[in-house]
Amino acid sequence: MKVNGLSRTGVNSLLVSNGNGIGRNDGDSRPMAKFMLSLRQDSMKVISVEAINRGISVQELLRAVIIPEWVKTNLRES
């Protein structure tokens, strides 16, 4: 759920519907890369419980917390 462009996590969404699918909300009109994530049931349960405890959806938790943290930990600038 978003109010004035902010999710319940208080994090600005970088993805918005632009009428042509998903676009960026940072002024960059280039298309974004997309990926699909598959999780085992036990991992999904952990993520679901954490999202419920925070009062947000699984998708919001993934976008605002899990993916950025993984990127920070696992990807380095070249």
Give the count of beta carbons closer than 10 Å to the beta carbon of residue 63: 18
Tell me the three state secondary structure of residue 3.
Answer: strand
Tell me the three state secondary structure of residue 39.
Answer: coil
Give the count of beta carbons closer than 10 Å to the beta carbon of residue 66: 15
Longest dimension (CA), the chain: 38
pTM of the model: 0.55
**What confidence score (pLDDT) does residue 75 get?**
83
Of the chain, the percentage scoring pLDDT greater than 90 comes to 38
Consecutive 10-residue averages of pLDDT for the chain (78 residues): 43 46 64 85 96 95 91 79
Give the count of beta carbons closer than 10 Å to the beta carbon of residue 64: 20
**What confidence score (pLDDT) does residue 6 get?**
43
